Structure 1
Amino acid sequence: MRFYLFIIISVISVHFEAQVLDTSWRTIVARGEDAWFASKEAQVIADNVLLYQRDVGGWPKNIQMHKPLSQKEKETLKALKKRPEGCTTDNGATVQEMLFLSKVYRQVPRENYRIAFLKGLNYILEAQYDNGGWPQFYPLRKGYYSHITYNDDNMVNILKLLKEINDNSGYYSIRPSLPILNKTRKAFNKGIDCVLKTQYKQNGVLTAWCAQYDRQKLLPAGARSYELPSLSGKESAQIVLLLMSIEDPSDAVINAINHAVKWFEDVKITGIDVKLKRHQGRIVHKEVVVDKTALPLWARFMELDDNTPFFCDRDGIKRSSLAEIGDERRNGYAWYTREPQILLDEYPKWKMKILPAGEMQPKAHHNVVVSKDGTGDYSNIQEAINHTKAFPYDKVTIFVKNGIYYEKVKIHEWNSNIILIGESKEHTKIIYDDHFNKIALGRNSTFYTYTLMVEANNVVLKNLTIENSSGEVGQAVALSVISDQVAVINCNLLGHQDTLYTSGKGKQYYQDCYIEGTTDFIFGSATAYFENCRIHSKKDSYITAASTPRESRYGYVFNNCRLTADEGVAKVYLGRPWRIYAQTVFMNCELGAHILPAGWHNWSKSEAEKTAFYAEYKNYGQGSKPDARVSWSKQLSERESELFSKKAVLGNNKDNLKREWYENVL
C-alpha cells in the first residue's frame, strides 16, 4: 500500500513540476499567492533567482528563472555575481524577481530571500536619475538604454512597486527599515514629478507620453530603429492608471489625468480591427480589416505634432499603414493596443472619487457680492468683510464687481477662509494713499500705511489691483500679508517704496502677479514663493529686502518670473538684507539689462555676507551674469535647485502627493 501511495505522490509531483516548467517565468510570478509558494519546487526556483541576482542588486532580463540549472550553470552564475553588466528593469526584470521572492518569503521566511529583496530595492533606488526618471539598464549602457524609459511599462512597474511599499499595502511581504522607506517615498515622489514634467505638450496643450526621453533635456527620444520619437498609445495608458491610483491627488496630477483622457478620446480609432493568423502558436500573418463592430483601437506610435499613426520597419522609414512594412516587424510587434479602454472605463469612477474633495473648477456662485452701483449685497469691501462669520468652517467668497474702491481694507485674524475675488484684475481696483509721513506714528509708521492688510490665515486674493497711490513719498505699502497660507493670484500690486510687505513666519504664494515699485518693494520675513510673476522696477534701487528669521528654512523664491524696468532704469540689485539672515533665490527667471552684474548688495552689513543666502539657478536674459555676481552669492546646481521647488518651500506634505494648500486656491 505504501509503495502504491509513493508512486501516486511521485506521479502527481512530477506532473505538477512539469506544468510549472512548461509555463513562462512571467506567468509563474503573476500567479495568485497560495500554498505552492511554500513548496519544494518554489524554493528551488527561489534559489535560482538568488543565483541570477548580481551583487549590484539587479537581475538580467528575459531569463526563465524556473528552468532547472546544472551544476556547471550554477558555478557560471556564481562567477558572474560581481559583474553588473546586463542588470535591468526592462521587460519586468528585477521587479518580477523581487515579487517572486516576496511571495515565497511570506510562506517560507528565510533571511536570504529578504536580503535579496532589499538588495533589489536598493538597486532600483540607486538607478534613479536626479530628475526622477529611470533608465533601461543600470549601470548605464551607451545608446538609447540610458534614456528615461516608459517603454514596456519600465518606469510604471518601478513606481507601482515603490507605491505598494510606501502604502504598506501588504502586497509585498518584506518591509524595509524606516530610513529605506523614507528613500522610497522620496523616489516615488520624484518619479511622479518626472512623469508630470515629461507629459508632452502639443501646441501648448498636454497630451500623453512618449516611450522614452533624453535624460538631460527631457525631450522625446528614439530607441530601436523602428521606435522613433512619438506619442505612445500603449505606455501612456498605464502611466495614467498609475496616476489615478494616487490617493488625494495634487492639482498637477489631476490636470495631467484629465488632459490625457481627453487625448485618448480624441485619438481612438474605430471601424477597424487587426486579424491574426497563427501557426503552432506563432503569429504568421497580421492584417488590418474594416469592422464597424470592433472595439476601439489605439496606435502604438503617433506623430508628435498631429497624432497621426505611423508604422516603421527596421530601416527606420515611417509608413502610413501596417501593410507597408515587412512580415518580420509587422507580425512581431504590437502596433495597436486596446489598453486605453481600461483607462476610459475607470475614469468616471475616479472622477467621482475625487469630486468630494472639492470641485476642480471654480464655483459659479459667490456668497457675497460687493458693487459700487448698489446692485450687490454691500457697496464697499470692508463692510462685506466685517459681516462675514468669524472663523468659518467653509470658504466664504466675496465677489467684488468692477469699480474703484477707495478704502483701506483689513481682513481680520478671525476672518479666515475668505476668498476675495475681483471681476477683473484691470478694472477691480482697491486704492488708498497712506504713507510714512502721513501716518506720523514714529519709526514704525510704515506698517500702518497698507491699502489692504491680511491678518487671517487661509485667504485667497484674486483678480484685483491693489494700489498705494501716495506717489514717491517714501515708505507706502500697497499689500501687507502677516499670516499663513495666503495665495495672491493674478493681481496687480502697485506702489513705489515698500509695495509688498510679506510679514510673519507663514507661507505665502504669489502667482501670475504684476508687482512694481522703486526701493525694497518686496520686503519682509515670510516664506514666499513667486511664480510666473512680472517684477517691475521704477528706479535704480533694490527689488527685495528680506528679513528671513534665522530659524526659517526658506525666505523668498522667485521661479519663472520676468524682471523688467522703466526706460532709463539701469542699476538695480536683486536684493539686499533687511536682516542679516535674509534668503532670496531667483530660478529660471528672465533678468532684464537693468540688473547690475554684482546682483546683490550687503546693505553695508559685512556680517550679512556670511549669514545671508542669495542664490540663482538657470536665470537668463541680459541681466543674468553669474560669473560677475558678488562672491558671497551662490549659483545652484540642479540637485540643489530641487530643494527650492514649490512643494519643498510651501508644502506641508513633504513625503507624499496629497493636495497642498496652494493647490486648493481656485
Structure 2
Amino acid sequence: MAHMGSATMKVYAAASYIVVILAHFIPTATAGSIDMSTAILIRVDQSGIGDFKKIQDAIDSVPSNNSELVYIWVKPGTYREKIVVPADKPFITLSGTQPSNTIITWNDGGNIMDSPTLTVLASDFVGRYLTIQNTFGSEGQAVALRVSGDRAAFYGCRILSYQDTLLDDTGSHYYSNCYIEGATDFICGNAASLFERCHLHSISTKKGSITAQHRDFASENTGFVFLGCKITGVGTTFLGRPWGAYSRVLYAFTYMSGVVAPAGWDDWADPSKQSTVFYAEYKCYGPGADRSMRVGWSQNLSSDDAAPLLTKDMIGGSSWLRPAPTSFKRGSTIIKPGSKF
C-alpha cells in the first residue's frame, strides 16, 4: 500500500472493512438453534378482538431472553404510542398489512435519543409494512425510528419526520423498499447498513442533507450503502455531511433527481474532514447525478472498487437475514398458511 494514492487507499480501506464486518456481526449460537419457519403469533387490534389493543403491551408480553420467533401482527389503525423494544427481547417481528393503514405516530423532539417514536434496542428485529412517524415538526431533533440493536431489518416501511428521521445508531441493519422522508440529516448514526431500493425524499426547502453518518475513527466498521435507490424532494439537498471525521457513504445505481446539489457533498464547515471521509458514487443516474461540479474530495468508484460494497455480504446479511415465517402458533396450536388468524 506504500505506493497507493490517498483516494485509492480510501477505496482499499472501504473494501477491506467488509471482510472484518463479516466476522464481527455473525449471529450468536442461539440464533442458529431457533426454528425460523414457525413463529408465535400475537395480534394487536384497537377494536379489542386481538390479544392486545396497544403495540407496547404486546411487546411487554414477550418474555425476557426470548428464544423463539415472535410475530406481532398489528391490525390497521393509527397507534399513538411511544414504543421501545427492549434489548432483552430479541427475535421479534412487528408487522402491519401495509404502511398506508398501519401507522405508529408520536410527537416528541429536542433530544436525539429520547424523542424516537419507535426505539429498537433488541437484536434480530424485523419491521414490516408500517408507517413510523414523528410529527414534532421542523424546530429541532425529532427521531421517528431509532435502531440500536444488531441484525435489524425493515421491509416496506415509511419512516417520516423532519430532522434526524432515522437514527441508524449502532449494529448491522438492512432496509428494503422503504420510504424515508426528512430534511436535515434525516438518515444519521453509526451503523453498518445497506439500503436497497429505498425512496429517499427530502422536504428541505434550502440545502438540507440526506445523511449524517457518524464514524469517528478509521478502525470502525461502519457506513451507509444505498443500492438501487431513488432520491426526490422539494428543494435542494446534499447527499451527506460528516457527523464524524471518518464518515462513510456510498450511493450506487441510484436515481438522483435535480434536488441534489451540484456539489453533492458538504463538509459541515470543517475542511479538515475532507481528507478523512469516504463519500462515493457509482453508476448513479438522473439530473442530480451529474458529477461535473462535485466536490473534489468525493469519489466516482470503478467497478472493481465498488463490487465488494454492493452485496448483502457487506452487513454479513447472508448469515442473519431471515424470510417471513411460513406458519404460526398460538399456544400449542399450529396455524397453517391461509388460515384465518
Amino acid paired to 1:433:
N
* Aligned residue among 480, 485, 488 for 2:146: 480
The alpha-carbon deviation at position 366 of structure 1 amounts to: 5.5
For residues 433 and 447 of structure 1, the distance between their equivalents in structure 2, rounded to whole angstroms, comes to 14
- Work out whether residues 190 and 222 of structure 2, in 8 Å CA contact, stay in contact via their aligned partners in 1: no
The alpha-carbon deviation at position 358 of structure 1 amounts to: 4.7
Matches within 5 A, 1:138-149: none
* Aligned residue among 499, 509, 512 for 2:165: 499
Which digits, 9 at most, give the CA deviation of each residue in 1:86-107, with x for residues without a partner?
xxxxxxxxxxxxxxxxxxxxxx
For residues 221 and 142 of structure 2, the distance between their equivalents in structure 1, rounded to whole angstroms, comes to 28
For residues 242 and 324 of structure 2, the distance between their equivalents in structure 1, rounded to whole angstroms, comes to 31
Amino acid paired to 1:482:
S
The equivalent residue for 1:626 is: 291
Poorly superposed stretches of 4+, deviation over 6 Å: none
Q: Are 1:650 and 2:315 an aligned pair?
A: yes
Q: Are 1:490 and 2:156 an aligned pair?
A: yes
Specify the SS of the correspondent of 1:528: strand
The equivalent residue for 1:597 is: 262
- Work out whether residues 40 and 69 of structure 2, in 8 Å CA contact, stay in contact via their aligned partners in 1: no
The equivalent residue for 1:209 is: none
Structure 2 gap segments, 5+ residues each: 1-18, 20-33, 326-341
- Work out whether residues 142 and 162 of structure 2, in 8 Å CA contact, stay in contact via their aligned partners in 1: yes
Which digits, 9 at most, give the CA deviation of each residue in 1:334-387, with x for residues without a partner?
xxxxxxxxxxxxxxxxxxxxxx9754xxx6x75100010001000000011011
Q: Are 1:612 and 2:270 an aligned pair?
A: no
Matches within 5 A, 1:155-170: none
Q: Are 1:556 and 2:224 an aligned pair?
A: yes
For residues 358 and 482 of structure 1, the distance between their equivalents in structure 2, rounded to whole angstroms, comes to 23
The equivalent residue for 1:462 is: 128
Q: Are 1:404 and 2:70 an aligned pair?
A: no
Q: Are 1:419 and 2:93 an aligned pair?
A: yes
Amino acid paired to 2:321:
Y
Distance 1:665 1:629, change over 3 A: farther
Distance 1:396 1:549, change over 3 A: farther
* Aligned residue among 580, 584, 594 for 2:245: 580
Distance 1:358 1:477, change over 3 A: closer
For residues 283 and 307 of structure 2, the distance between their equivalents in structure 1, rounded to whole angstroms, comes to 12
- Work out whether residues 460 and 665 of structure 1, in 8 Å CA contact, stay in contact via their aligned partners in 2: no
Distance 1:448 1:561, change over 3 A: same
- Which protein has the bigger helix share? 1
Which digits, 9 at most, give the CA deviation of each residue in 1:486-532, with x for residues without a partner?
0011000011111000112x101000000000100000011111001
For residues 223 and 89 of structure 2, the distance between their equivalents in structure 1, rounded to whole angstroms, comes to 26
Matches within 5 A, 1:111-122: none
Amino acid paired to 2:155:
I
Which digits, 9 at most, give the CA deviation of each residue in 1:15-67, with x for residues without a partner?
xxxxxxxxxxxxxxxxxxxxxxxxxxxxxxxxxxxxxxxxxxxxxxxxxxxxx
Q: TM-score, normalised by structure 1?
A: 0.42
Structure 1 gap segments, 5+ residues each: 1-185, 187-355, 437-444, 653-658
Distance 1:407 1:358, change over 3 A: closer
- Work out whether residues 547 and 582 of structure 1, in 8 Å CA contact, stay in contact via their aligned partners in 2: yes
- Work out whether residues 554 and 649 of structure 1, in 8 Å CA contact, stay in contact via their aligned partners in 2: no
Q: TM-score, normalised by structure 2?
A: 0.82
For residues 430 and 608 of structure 1, the distance between their equivalents in structure 2, rounded to whole angstroms, comes to 37
Amino acid paired to 1:593:
G
- Work out whether residues 35 and 69 of structure 2, in 8 Å CA contact, stay in contact via their aligned partners in 1: no
Specify the SS of the correspondent of 1:520: strand
Amino acid paired to 2:105:
I
Amino acid paired to 2:168:
T
Amino acid paired to 1:527:
A
- Work out whether residues 36 and 322 of structure 2, in 8 Å CA contact, stay in contact via their aligned partners in 1: no
Which digits, 9 at most, give the CA deviation of each residue in 1:582-618, with x for residues without a partner?
0000000000001011100000111110111000000
For residues 606 and 600 of structure 1, the distance between their equivalents in structure 2, rounded to whole angstroms, comes to 12
Specify the SS of the correspondent of 1:447: coil
- Work out whether residues 524 and 547 of structure 1, in 8 Å CA contact, stay in contact via their aligned partners in 2: yes
Amino acid paired to 1:429:
I
Amino acid paired to 2:48:
G
Amino acid paired to 1:434:
D
For residues 588 and 665 of structure 1, the distance between their equivalents in structure 2, rounded to whole angstroms, comes to 27
For residues 416 and 573 of structure 1, the distance between their equivalents in structure 2, rounded to whole angstroms, comes to 36
The equivalent residue for 1:536 is: 201
- Work out whether residues 403 and 428 of structure 1, in 8 Å CA contact, stay in contact via their aligned partners in 2: yes
For residues 184 and 190 of structure 2, the distance between their equivalents in structure 1, rounded to whole angstroms, comes to 17
The alpha-carbon deviation at position 399 of structure 1 amounts to: 0.6
For residues 180 and 89 of structure 2, the distance between their equivalents in structure 1, rounded to whole angstroms, comes to 25
Amino acid paired to 1:590:
Y
Matches within 5 A, 1:233-312: none
Matches within 5 A, 1:13-92: none
- Which protein has the bigger strand share? 2
Give me the identity figure in percent: 36
- Work out whether residues 135 and 161 of structure 2, in 8 Å CA contact, stay in contact via their aligned partners in 1: yes
Amino acid paired to 1:406:
R
The equivalent residue for 2:179 is: 514
* Aligned residue among 65, 68, 93 for 1:394: 68
The alpha-carbon deviation at position 463 of structure 1 amounts to: 0.7
Q: Are 1:545 and 2:212 an aligned pair?
A: yes
Matches within 5 A, 1:197-236: none
The alpha-carbon deviation at position 646 of structure 1 amounts to: 2.5
For residues 446 and 421 of structure 1, the distance between their equivalents in structure 2, rounded to whole angstroms, comes to 25
The equivalent residue for 2:107 is: 433
For residues 627 and 501 of structure 1, the distance between their equivalents in structure 2, rounded to whole angstroms, comes to 31
